Amino acid sequence: MVRVEPRFVSMTERRAISSGSVFEDRIGYARAVVDGARVHVSGTTGFDYATMTIADDVVEQAEQCLDNIAAALAQAGCDFRDVVRVRYLLPAREDFEPCWPSLRRAFGDVRPAATMMVCGLADPRMRIEIEVEARRAGS
């Protein structure tokens, strides 16, 4: 896990962070938005944005989601320890429990507020989507 040293946090800063995903340009959103001390990371799926591939396995997808989220948080000047809210979206509720060990590694010591929802996702290959909100250190 990458930890970025705390820095002065401008309460008026607003900037978009891109992952390079083609979806961001096609749909019109940012992977994350820094809004002063708050960081909002968009719903993030298990696509490897470098190759635009996605694994079939839900646990592998969860791990890739977390890698993608970690990269966005690092660009925002924070990491998983700064996460205050997480939302899990899955089309099949039975896919959630196999992901717990991966999710615990990321959030177990942080214990953010969390919600899991069963819903359809944009692409049938997607088996999990994770969205987080964080508060940057020094705020």
Residue stretches of the chain with pLDDT short of 70? 1-12, 138-139
pLDDT at 2: 45
pLDDT at 49: 86
pLDDT at 23: 80
pLDDT at 137: 79
pLDDT at 18: 87
Q: How are beta strands 83-90 and 113-118 bridged, if at all?
A: parallel
pLDDT at 110: 96
Burial of 17 (0-12, 13-18, 19+ CB in 10 A): buried
* Domains of the chain and any CATH numbers: 14-135 (3.30.1330.40)
All residues at 6 or more sequence positions from 48 whose CB lies less than 8 Å from its CB, including other chains? 54, 64
Tracing tokens 């959030």 back to the chain, one arrives at 107
pLDDT at 12: 67
All residues at 6 or more sequence positions from 90 whose CB lies less than 8 Å from its CB, including other chains? 58, 96, 116, 117, 118, 119, 127, 128, 129
